[in-house]
Amino acid sequence: MAKYIRCAYCNGTGKDPYSLLSTKSGCLVCEGTGENEVKEPAIKCIYCSGTGKNPLGARIHCIVCMGHGSNYCESNTKCLRCKGSGKSSDGLPCTLCGGIGFWK
């Protein structure tokens, strides 16, 4: 199953939230459509809190959800290494769960 959800990175506007190239440049995540196709079941991206933006402050999309704001996840068992936070101690995505926060 797949469904279309509003693009978290550009908040559905279809525009690049950081205007990296120009103020008219389109969102790189949804390619200007304002929405992305996601596989179900999908859960909110724990790593970026569903914002689709890189939580480390870099002006790029979240590398865990690729800017979609949610991740495909069938499991409801929390990752033991990051305790479901999706983050390693250095702030990078947990290497065990890939930043999703749950076992795959």
Residue 7 is a binding residue for Zn ion (CB under 5 A): yes
CB of 104 to Zn ion, least distance (A): 10
CB of 69 to Zn ion, least distance (A): 6
Residue 46 is a binding residue for Zn ion (CB under 5 A): no
- Give the Cα separation of 18 and 23 in Å (integer): 8
- Which string of b and e fits 66-96 if b means at least 16 CB within 10 Å? bbbbbbebeeeeebeebebebbeeeeebbee
CB of 8 to Zn ion, least distance (A): 7
Residue 27 is a binding residue for Zn ion (CB under 5 A): yes
